[in-house]
Structure 1
Amino acid sequence: MPFSDRVSAAWRWLGLEGVVLLAAFLCDLAVVVPAAVDPIGPRGRDLLLLPGMIVLGACALWARTRPAAAVFAGAATLFASTFLIRVTYAAAYTTLLSNVSLSETVAGVELVFFCVRRVRWPEAVIGTGTLVLGGLFATVYRRGSDRFGMSDTMLVGLVLLVVTVAAALHLRRSHAPRKDSALRNLVREQWPLIGGLSLPLFFELYQLLHTDVRSLPVLLLSIAAAATTIYATRRPLRAGIALAAVIFATAPALYIASSEYLRGFGVLPFTEIVAGIVVVILLVRHVEPKRAWATIGLLSVTVAFTTLAGLATGRSRLGLADARDLVVGAVLVLGIAIACGLYFRARDSERRKVVEAAVADAQNSERMALARELHDLVAHHVTGIIVQAQAAKVIADQNPKVALEVIERIEAAGTEAMTAMRRLVGSMRAGAEAVTDQATMDLEADLRRLVEAAHTGVPVEAEVRVPKDLPQEVARSALRLVQESLTNTGKHAAGATRVCVLAEVRDGELHIRVADDGRRVAARPAGGSGGYGLVGMRERVELLHGRLAAGPAPDGGWVVEAWLPVEEDA
């Protein structure tokens, strides 16, 4: 399997919960790795926090298939990692819960969610309680910054637990199939984007936890920007205008935010920058250029306003002296986003043309197949009717009794034609292949029946030596070739006294030969000639990679020969 396919398969396997967990782990890495190499404490000691994060994350992914076992394994992992941190004097750090990392918090939430949703009540209660005890043990027994008091940790943990259990109970409550809401469909379709946006949101959350509540409006606006970006996959124009409003509202929110919070990034929050890039790509990709450029201009104006407002206040780590560099960087990022949007737009256009061409080819192939079936089937029956009607007209005055018998045969032939037409229409309405009358599993019986029922006015001799296990396409095409050849004999072979039909398998090929001893006339044949008989036969043979020869015989008459491969590899 190519490397790109393996990456795509792994990405699909992760799913929404896996991508969010990965984003939280990357956020933890951004904190743990620098702390492991700083001059405070032994170098590399903080890396001992990673094994617990990794194993607990693996338990959360395992919970998708075995939630009962995974939740107990997750609780055991919390106890074991806590002992490891305590024994090695590693410094645990605080996010939402005291001394518990972000990835461990996210993994715990997912473990509780899957356990409550899918496990029987006694096991769910015991498993959730054991995991909660493991979390409490970690917050109390680990050594870390302990920025939050026990009361704060208990409150945040209780809120997380209640929200997670409520969401799991809501999904557990009814197992009956129900119509999915637009929001559920949007989340199911756009989970990679949701997971990608969770990474900058986690970074901003970590930044907020090290400041005060004044920075909370900025985080809420970043969440709104992320939600607007997800909505942009459905309505990019409305989402672009909404994102401009969010960025505009960020200016006063940054003014009242903590200066320590602002030092974590330049002027705009990370999430809003990512959201702006994604929305610009979607605008260029899906919206007509005039509206797209107008919305992109509005976004650019709001970004410039918020950036200048942040620089003018002097509360950011950047100043007005950095405005030139910010403009160059913003133009560069905007250009990259527009180029990506144009690339996706061109790819969509090319893919649409390929699909349209494929649909047109399929429709054309279906029309040609139906045209061949109609020509071979209807022309065969109608030609027989016309030939017999002409004969009845000639002998009506001389022998009315014989003419009456001919008329009865005309009636029978008309009934056969009507039956064949009904079968053909039935197969077309069912959407199946045009497997019409006389296309059965026994080609020899089909050919003999066709020869006996032929209404060409000329005796037909048949020599058929074919096995019963011929491929269906080969047998059906052979039957149609003989049928069309007999029809042409009745229409064109003036003065013919006999027709010879040969069908046999030699050297891995089905050899079909239909020969008459008549002469070709320039007069209009019975029933007219559409000119598609030989064309249809040639198309049938080419589809099976066979050979076809049709023309006058050396000693007079007309010969049609076809060789159709019957081997599987052919």
Structure 2
Amino acid sequence: MPFSDRVTSAWRWLGLEGVLLVAAFVCDLAVVLPASVDLAGPRGRDLLLLPGMIVLGACALWARTRPAVAVFAGAATVFASTFLIRVTDAAAYTTLLSNVSLSETVAGLELVFFCVRRVRWAESLIGTGTLVLAGLFAAFQRTGSGSRSLGETLLLGMVLLVATVLAALHFRRGDAPRAESPMRDLVREQWPLIGGLSLPVFLELYQALDSDVRALPALACSLAAAATTVYATRRPLRAGLLLAGIIFVTSAALWVAPRQYLVGYGALPLTEVIAGIIIVVLLVRSVEPKRAWGAITLMSAAVAFTTLTNLASGRGRMNMADLRDAVIAAVLVLGIAVAAGLYLRARDSERRKVVEAAVADAQNSERMALARELHDLVAHHVTGIIVQAQAAKVIADQNPKVALEVIERIEAAGTEAMTAMRRLVGSMRAGADAVTDHATMDLDADLRRLVESGHHGVPVRADVRVPRDLPQEVARSALRLVQESLTNIGKHAAGATRACLLAEVRDGELHIRVADDGRQVAARPAGGSGGYGLVGMRERVELLHGRLAAGPAPDGGWVVEAWLPVEEEA
């Protein structure tokens, strides 16, 4: 399997819950790895926090299939990790809960979610309670570096637990019929984007939790920007205008936020920067250029305003001397986003053209196939009716009894024509794979029935030597070739007294030969001629990679010969 396919398969296997765990673990790595090489304590000691994070995350993924077992395994992992931290004197880090890492918090909430959603009530209550006790044990017994108080941990933990249980109860009713929800469909479709945006949100969450309550408005703006980005997959223009408003509001939120709140050296929160890039790509890709550039201009103005106010307040890590570099970086990022949007727009246009061309080709092929079928059926039956009607008109005065017999044959031919048309319409309604006119099941019988019907008005001597196991498409085309040839004899071969039909398989090919002893006339044939008979015959033969020859015979008359491959490669 190619590497790209493996990555795609692994990404789909992770799902939204797996992506959230990966994002939280990456954020924990951003804290643990630098701490493991600092001067506080033995080098590498803080890496002992990672096994508990990894195993608990694996338990959360396991809970998708075995939630009852996974929740107790997760609780045991938290207890074991806490003992390891106590014995080694490693320093646990505080995020939402005291002395509990972000990845452990996310994994614990997912364990509770799957347990409440899919396990029976008694087991769910016991499993959730065990996991909560393990979390409290970790918060109180680990040696942490955070300063979150006991009351804050209990309150925040209770809020997270209640929210998770309510969400699980909501999805527990999933077996019952529910009305379609656009929000639910959006989350189900865009879970990779939601998981990707969780990484910058978690990074800002770390930064906000290290600050005081004044950082919450800025964090709320980042969460709103992330939600707007997901909404942009449905309404990019509206989402672009909404993001511009969020960025304007962010300028006020950063004004009240603590100094050095921003992650890195940007003038905007990281989540809003990523949201702006994604929305610009979506605007250029799917919105009319005039409207797209209007929204991009408004977003750029909001970014410029927020950056200037942030630099003027001196609350970020940038100053006015860095303004030139910030402008260059912003223009470069905007250019990359626009280029990506143009590339995706061009690819979408090319894909649309390819699909339209494929649909047009399929429709054209279907029209040609239907045209051939209609021509073969109508020309054969109607020509026989016209020829016999002309004969009846000639002999009506001389021999009324014979004329009456001819009229009966005309009635029979008309009935057969109506039956054939009904079968064709029925096959069109049933699908392209249906067989019309009961043909191609036994070519020998079909050809002999065609010859005996005699609607073409000329006696035919048939020499048919074909096996019963011919490929259906070959037998069907052969029947239509003979039918069209006999119809042309009735229409064009003036004075023909006999016709000969040969059908045999030789050297891996089905050889069809139809000849008459008539003469060609310049007069208009009975029923007129659309000029499509020979064209349709050639199309049928070419589709099977065969050969067709049609023309006057050396001793008079007209000869049609076809060679159709009957091997598998045909």
TM-score by length of 1: 0.96
Deviates more, 1:158-167 or 1:427-436: 427-436
Residues 75 and 130, structure 2, Cα contact 8 Å, conserved in 1: yes
Moved over 4 A (4+): none
Alpha-carbon distance in structure 2 between the residues aligned to 1:560 and 1:177: 65
Structure 2 spans left out of the alignment, 5+ residues: none
Shift, 1:443, TM fit: 2.2
Alpha-carbon distance in structure 2 between the residues aligned to 1:67 and 1:263: 36
Alpha-carbon distance in structure 2 between the residues aligned to 1:100 and 1:4: 35
Residues 224 and 246, structure 2, Cα contact 8 Å, conserved in 1: yes
Alpha-carbon distance in structure 1 between the residues aligned to 2:150 and 2:428: 73
* Structure 2 equivalent of residue 220 of structure 1: 220
* Structure 2 equivalent of residue 398 of structure 1: 398
Q: Secondary structure at the match of 1:173?
A: helix
* Structure 2 equivalent of residue 466 of structure 1: 466
Shift, 1:439, TM fit: 2.0
* Structure 2 equivalent of residue 178 of structure 1: 178
Shift, 1:561, TM fit: 2.2
* Structure 2 equivalent of residue 130 of structure 1: 130
Give the AA of the match of 1:334: L
Alpha-carbon distance in structure 2 between the residues aligned to 1:178 and 1:538: 57
* Structure 2 equivalent of residue 139 of structure 1: 139
Give the AA of the match of 2:485: S
* Structure 2 equivalent of residue 450 of structure 1: 450
1:319 matched to 2:316: no
Give the AA of the match of 2:436: T
Give the AA of the match of 1:234: R
1:349 matched to 2:349: yes
* Structure 2 equivalent of residue 208 of structure 1: 208
Alpha-carbon distance in structure 2 between the residues aligned to 1:176 and 1:562: 63
Residues 207 and 264, structure 1, Cα contact 8 Å, conserved in 2: no
Alpha-carbon distance in structure 2 between the residues aligned to 1:71 and 1:198: 24
Residues 115 and 128, structure 1, Cα contact 8 Å, conserved in 2: yes
Matches within 5 A, 1:398-547: 398-433=398-433, 435-547=435-547
Alpha-carbon distance in structure 1 between the residues aligned to 2:207 and 2:52: 23
Alpha-carbon distance in structure 2 between the residues aligned to 1:212 and 1:395: 111
Residues 541 and 564, structure 1, Cα contact 8 Å, conserved in 2: yes
Give the AA of the match of 1:197: L
Alpha-carbon distance in structure 2 between the residues aligned to 1:487 and 1:14: 66
Change (3 A) 1:530 1:75: same
Alpha-carbon distance in structure 2 between the residues aligned to 1:263 and 1:553: 91
Shift, 1:378, TM fit: 1.1
Shift, 1:440, TM fit: 4.8
Change (3 A) 1:210 1:393: same
* Structure 2 equivalent of residue 67 of structure 1: 67
Alpha-carbon distance in structure 2 between the residues aligned to 1:176 and 1:435: 44
Matches within 5 A, 1:293-308: 293-308=293-308
Shift, 1:331, TM fit: 0.6
Residues 514 and 559, structure 1, Cα contact 8 Å, conserved in 2: yes
Alpha-carbon distance in structure 2 between the residues aligned to 1:512 and 1:52: 79
Give the AA of the match of 2:284: V
Give the AA of the match of 1:283: L
Change (3 A) 1:242 1:376: same
Residues 93 and 101, structure 2, Cα contact 8 Å, conserved in 1: yes
Q: Secondary structure at the match of 1:211?
A: coil
Q: Secondary structure at the match of 1:415?
A: helix
Alpha-carbon distance in structure 2 between the residues aligned to 1:460 and 1:179: 68
Residues 263 and 270, structure 2, Cα contact 8 Å, conserved in 1: no
Q: Secondary structure at the match of 1:549?
A: strand
1:310-351 C-alpha deviation (Å, 9 max, x unpaired): 000112111111111101111111111111111111111111
Matches within 5 A, 1:553-564: 553-564=553-564
Give the AA of the match of 1:223: L
Shift, 1:135, TM fit: 2.0
Residues 97 and 139, structure 2, Cα contact 8 Å, conserved in 1: yes
Residues 424 and 434, structure 1, Cα contact 8 Å, conserved in 2: no
Shift, 1:518, TM fit: 2.2
Give the AA of the match of 1:284: V
1:220-239 C-alpha deviation (Å, 9 max, x unpaired): 01111111111111111111
Alpha-carbon distance in structure 2 between the residues aligned to 1:65 and 1:392: 81
Deviates more, 1:140-149 or 1:350-359: 140-149
* Structure 2 equivalent of residue 152 of structure 1: 152
* Structure 1 equivalent of residue 229 of structure 2: 229
1:226-266 C-alpha deviation (Å, 9 max, x unpaired): 11111111111111111111000111110111114236552
Deviates more, 1:6-15 or 1:353-362: 6-15
Deviates more, 1:366-375 or 1:487-496: 487-496
Structure 1 spans left out of the alignment, 5+ residues: none
Alpha-carbon distance in structure 2 between the residues aligned to 1:546 and 1:138: 80
Shift, 1:385, TM fit: 0.4
Shift, 1:9, TM fit: 2.1
Give the AA of the match of 2:366: E
Alpha-carbon distance in structure 2 between the residues aligned to 1:48 and 1:517: 99
* Structure 2 equivalent of residue 116 of structure 1: 116
Shift, 1:174, TM fit: 4.5
Give the % identical residues. Answer: 81
Residues 263 and 317, structure 1, Cα contact 8 Å, conserved in 2: no
Deviates more, 1:184-193 or 1:169-178: 169-178
Alpha-carbon distance in structure 2 between the residues aligned to 1:72 and 1:503: 78
Give the AA of the match of 1:531: G
Shift, 1:540, TM fit: 1.4
Shift, 1:108, TM fit: 1.5
Question: Would you say how many aligned residue pairs link Structure 1 and Structure 2?
Answer: 570
Alpha-carbon distance in structure 2 between the residues aligned to 1:123 and 1:545: 68
Alpha-carbon distance in structure 2 between the residues aligned to 1:540 and 1:434: 17
Matches within 5 A, 1:247-326: 247-262=247-262, 264-326=264-326
1:480-519 C-alpha deviation (Å, 9 max, x unpaired): 1221111112112222222222223333332222222222
Shift, 1:531, TM fit: 0.9
Residues 215 and 257, structure 2, Cα contact 8 Å, conserved in 1: yes
* Structure 2 equivalent of residue 367 of structure 1: 367
1:377-421 C-alpha deviation (Å, 9 max, x unpaired): 111100110110111111111111111110111111111111111
Change (3 A) 1:459 1:19: same
Alpha-carbon distance in structure 1 between the residues aligned to 2:41 and 2:554: 104
Q: Secondary structure at the match of 2:502?
A: strand
* Structure 2 equivalent of residue 565 of structure 1: 565
